[in-house]
Every structure is written in C-alpha cells, then in structure tokens.
A = this chain, B = another copy of it.
Amino acid sequence: MTTLLKQNIASHISLSDTEMEGFCNLFQHKTIQKKSFLLREGEVCKFEGFVTKGLFRVYHIDKNGLEQILYFAIENWWITDIDSFTNESPSQLFIEAIEDSEVLVISKKDKEFAYSNLPKIEKLFRVMTQKTHVALQRRMIDNLSKTAESRYIEFLEKYPKLVQRLSNIQIAAYLGITNVFLSNIRKKIAVRK
C-alpha cells in the first residue's frame, strides 16, 4: 500500500525503518472517482496527498470563468494547496481527478505531529518544498520569456507519458492559452514536419 510512498520519501532523505513506518502509518488511503474533487474553491485544504494511482489536475477558475491549470499530478507526485493548507485559508483552487485515482493523505494535525516527533520530516518537507519551488520558478521564467509554441514543444518533450493522458483543452489551460490557439500551433508544427 505504501511502497511507492516509501520509495518517494527515500529519494529525498534517509530514514530508519521505524521512522519510515511511523511516518507512513499517519497516511490514509483514499479512492477518488474520475471527475470528482479532492478540493473545491472556498474550502480549506486539510490534507497533503501522495498520488499512488491515477491523475489529477490542480486548477483555478478566474472571474471570466477561464481555467488555469497550476499543475498535474500523476503517480508518485504530491498534491495539496500549500497556500490554503498552511494558512488555513479558503482555497482558490480545485483539485479534480482526471482518471479514477488513489491517494494517500495525511492530515494537518498528523503532519504537525510528525514535525515535532520525527525531526527528519522537517527536512523532508524542506527539501520537497524547495524542489517544487525551483520547478515553479523555472516555469515562471518560461512563461515570461517564451512563446506559447516553444512552451508547448517543451511540455511534450518533458512529459511525453503525461501528454497521452491529457486532452488538448487541458494542455492549453496549463500553457496559459486557448485550445483554439493550441490547435493552430499543432497545425503549424505538423506542416513543418
């Protein structure tokens, strides 16, 4: 049940078997059907989750009803709204299953218990947050400096497996463009080949 989670943790820090067990036992297993939500806008995010099966999208809907996808999460990825979770504030985000999915979730209370009783967990989340932040910083630079076309091409190269599981509507919402414009880009690329 928690094999994938243990592997994931071990890739960030090293824990003794007892520590690992102790921490992983704090997680609960959840099954989420396609098109249902782990979190909706306005709710306070009370969990941090680790995806063991399936695929999620984490997105925002702006006042014009347009959807911006912050990130996707497949097997071996973590999901939460860190803003809402840490500040206990209403979330601006939706977290929705794109496929039938399974997640291991830890509550805020149990996470705080881990912070105080297993000092290395502090390091785990320090390291993970750093990596997430680096990824977002790179994406920010890309969004500011690159055209939609090269962002699309790089997305295809970086996540070839993921792409196959997504619609073009979802890819466009991640790239920050309309699906109509993505269609134009795709045509342009196809003609070139």
Contact = CB atoms under 8 A, between A and B. Distances in A.
Nearest to A58: B137
B141 A70 contact: yes
Contacts of A62: 144-146
B176 A144 contact: yes
A139 B139 CA distance: 12
Nearest to A64: B145
- By secondary structure, the A interface counts as helix
B141 A140 contact: no
Nearest to A119: B119
Interface residues of A, number: 33
B133 A126 contact: no
A82 interface: yes
Interface in A116-159: 119, 122-123, 125-126, 129-130, 132-134, 136-141, 143-146
Closest 8 pairs between A and B when the two form their complex, measured CB to CB: A62-B145, A126-B126, A68-B144, A133-B133, A83-B134, A122-B122, A129-B129, A144-B176
Given A60-B141, A82-B133, 5 more contacts: A62-B144, A92-B141, A136-B140, A139-B140, A140-B143
